[in-house]
Homo-oligomer: A and B are copies of this chain.
Amino acid sequence: MATLADVAKRAGVSVGVVSRLLNGDETLRARDETKQRVRAAAAELGYTPNYAARALRKARVGVIGLAVHDASNPVYSEIIAGAQAEAAKAGYALMLSDVNALATDDEMFKRFVSGGAIDGLLLQRAGTAADSLVSKIASGQVPTVLLNDHTRGPIGSVAVDDYTAAHLAVSHLIELGHESVGLLHVDGPRSRAARRRKGWADALAAAGLDAPASRVFRGGHTADEGYRGMRELLAAPEPPTAVFAANVLAAVGALSAAHDMGVRVPDDVSLVGLHDVFVADFLQPRLTVVKLPLFELGARAVTLLLSQLNNDPARHESITAPAPVMVLRQSSTPPPSH
């Protein structure tokens, strides 16, 4: 690999000039002819800066870490895509990691957050003890921003409007004529789960309807958990005529559970999920869903993190535009008795 010194020698100048020129240093006063010569030499040698050396010198590596619980979860992949795009714009690379691995494997944690392997960290919490540990420790080492979460103090955070999304979904169901709407709710950071539940409750209340705890079932954020939650819900004494699943994967499982119990969707019970992922459009029936700007969430998170890298204070951001939208498909219709 060609080094700066190689280029300098070939161009007959010193390394300082080459470095400054190639990095676009404005204050460099050099003859045009010299610039040409240097550029030509660099091109001929196929020069590429060595990032390890640069990182060592500048104490900044140009990579931002992204720790999630399950990179294969389609919900996360849109966030990741957004983060990726924004990071690339700023010349940063993204490095994925698993939150649990980070929490469990001490070696990995040190390598990832200490040791200068990343300049900043994007973190997806999920309410477990390990999570708070990670976020606590990590924030002391590297600038951190939490994804779809809310926090004060030295850690930044950015969130989408879960409350409005839930409100929207439930209002849609109410407009269709439903009077009893169950909730398959997620665990996770209190605030996130709570916002979705409040959206559900408020929408019901606004229509003068009940939002009793007896209609709330644990849906989790996997299809398996959603399956179990829906079974419980449908086995309840007076099952609701509609269900809002606070997570798509839970909705996928819920659909499957209804089918297995001989309950037809949407004829017997309507179902709407949160987050629009491709699979929603390939289920039978196709899943009605509310779509949140997940791509933007990822993008804004890196913007915020980048500003923290420049010593701006950590802050919280809410993404209000684009607003949540209903994606009407086949799983929601008026209730049976209408």
Q: Which residues of A contact B (CB under 8 A)?
A: 1, 46, 48-53, 55-56, 61, 63, 71-72, 74, 77-78, 80-81, 84, 88, 91, 93-98, 101, 105, 107-108, 110-112, 114-117, 223, 227, 252-253, 255-256, 259, 278-279, 281-284
Contact = CB atoms under 8 A, between A and B. Distances in A.
B1 A114 contact: yes
A268 to B, nearest CB: 15
Contacts of A282: 223, 227, 252-253, 255-256
A95 B98 contact: no
A51 B259 contact: no
Given A1-B116, A72-B72, A74-B72, A223 B52 contact: no
A22 to B, nearest CB: 12
A61 B63 CA distance: 13
22 contacts: A46-B114, A48-B111, A50-B115, A51-B116, A51-B117, A52-B52, A63-B95, A71-B71, A71-B77, A72-B72, A72-B80, A74-B74, A84-B101, A88-B108, A91-B107, A93-B97, A93-B117, A95-B95, A96-B96, A223-B282, A256-B281, A279-B279
Contacts of A48: 110-111, 114-115
A11 to B, nearest CB: 20
Interface of chain A, helix or strand or loop or mixed? helix
A112 B282 CA distance: 36
A94 B96 contact: yes
A109 B95 CA distance: 16
Contacts of A278: 223
A80 B94 CA distance: 15
